[in-house]
Amino acid sequence: MASSPPHLLFATIFLLFAAIFTQEAIASKPVSNLKLNLKILQDSIIKKVNENPKAGWEAARNPRFSNYTVGEFKYLLGVKPTPEKELLGIPVVTHDKSLKLPDSFDARTAWPKCSNIGRILALNMYMYMALVIQGHCGSCWAFGAVESLSDRFCIHFGMNISLSVNDLLACCGFLCGSGCNGGIPIYAWRYFKHHGIVSEECDPYFDDIGCSHPGCEPGYPTPKCVRKCVNGNQLWRDSKHYSVSAYRIRSKPYDIMAEVFTNGPVEVAFTVYEDFAHYKSGVYKHITGGALGGHAVKLIGWGTSADGEDYWLLANQWNKGWGDDGYFKIKRGSNECGIEKEAVAGMPSTKNLVREVAGIDSFMDASL
């Protein structure tokens, strides 16, 4: 039998690898086409959660997803796992246990002058909202990273700046993953270190509509990388902001808490189940429904509920109509849904900064 041409053999291997990688990335069993067309919000899930005395959280019909199908919701879950062989080369940060941590912590109140911590990002430079709609794109991996680095520029350098999700999403390319079809969080931080990230003013987020209307499928394609500021008076290269490091935090609650307490918010990823779309308040833990994919968010603090449940405090990108005014709490200390497995971050750099910002010293620009 004649052998296949080399280019066909290569294409077959590539497609096979892509299929395997995609299945691993969503961390869930394949969902049938019938289920993909069902509405993500289900009264049966709400009932099961709210009637469970041990749930610890309230479920409701969040208006953010009133028109979403399961398939449309899945498209927002854009985290791909870090390849195992890559994990060995990523620095892991630990913290000395001599640091005394408070029982509760909220980065918004710890650094009140850094208003971006609570605002996260705006849809565009004219529409500042307390929380931003991620839109109809699997860009959570990019939002979580950009938001956290923006916060750290304020915390360490006193700069209240919003950095550009669009730059990372469009210009990192295959180095980060697949744009709107998902990416790898730690690769986003590597992009900050090696290529920098422009401001939101220079390159606003491309999706200023979101998917609150019906008929959103197929999802938005990844925007093109133009490397040009929308304001002709700004230069792309002059708008770049860098990090000096990209690292993981050891998967222990204390180390994650110490990192946030010392350096600011971090990006975390976790597996999303069907019931999470219904979250309204309380301390979330998985109760019912199948796994749909991986999602990245910004972790800003921790605490303990009135019922004695330890939790993490996180900011999402699904606007104020979802969850607890756009935020949510999830059980702390048991790696709920993988939330403690792969926290990532990096330190901001003074590279390319105009030195009119007080308090920026060269020693702060040391790589970990």
Quick: pLDDT tens for 293-329.
Answer: 999 999 999 999 999 999 999 999 888 888 998 899 9
Cα-Cα-Cα-Cα torsion 221, 227, 231, 234, nearest 10 degrees, comes to: 160
CA 46 to chain CA centroid, Å, is: 25
Statement: the pTM of the whole predicted model exceeds 0.85: no
In the chain, domain spans? 32-365
In the predicted model, is pLDDT for residue 130 greater than 50? no
Angle CA 89–95–97, to nearest 5: 145
pLDDT (average), residues 343-367: 68
Q: Which of 140, 154, 216, 229 is catalytic?
A: 140
202: annotated active-site residue: no
Q: How far is residue 352's CA from residue 349's CA, in Å, rounded to a whole number?
A: 8
Q: How far is residue 343's CA from residue 354's CA, in Å, rounded to a whole number?
A: 30
Burial 116-151 (b: 16+ CB within 10 A, else e): bbbbbbbbbbeeeeebbbbbbbbbbbbbbbbbbbbb
Least confident of 94-98, 171-175, 215-219, 338-342: 215-219
Per-residue pLDDT band at 101 (split at 50, 70, 90): very high
Least confident of 94-98, 233-237, 272-276, 298-302: 233-237
Q: Which of 278, 316, 319, 337 is catalytic?
A: 316
Q: Which residues pair with 345 in a beta bridge?
A: 247
33: annotated active-site residue: no
Q: How far is residue 262's CA from residue 101's CA, in Å, rounded to a whole number?
A: 10
pLDDT of 210: 41
Q: Which of 95, 241, 286, 295 is catalytic?
A: 295
pLDDT of 23: 36
Is 125:159 a contact under the CB 8 Å cutoff? no
Question: Which residues have CB under 8 Å from 6's CB, separation 6+?
Answer: none
Q: Count Cβ atoms within 10 A of the Cβ of residue 360 and give its class: 0-12 exposed, 13-18 middle, 19 or more buried.
A: middle
Is 249:93 a contact under the CB 8 Å cutoff? yes
32-365 homologous superfamily? Cysteine proteinases (3.90.70.10)
Per-residue pLDDT band at 241 (split at 50, 70, 90): very high
In the predicted model, is pLDDT for residue 53 greater than 90? yes
286: annotated active-site residue: no
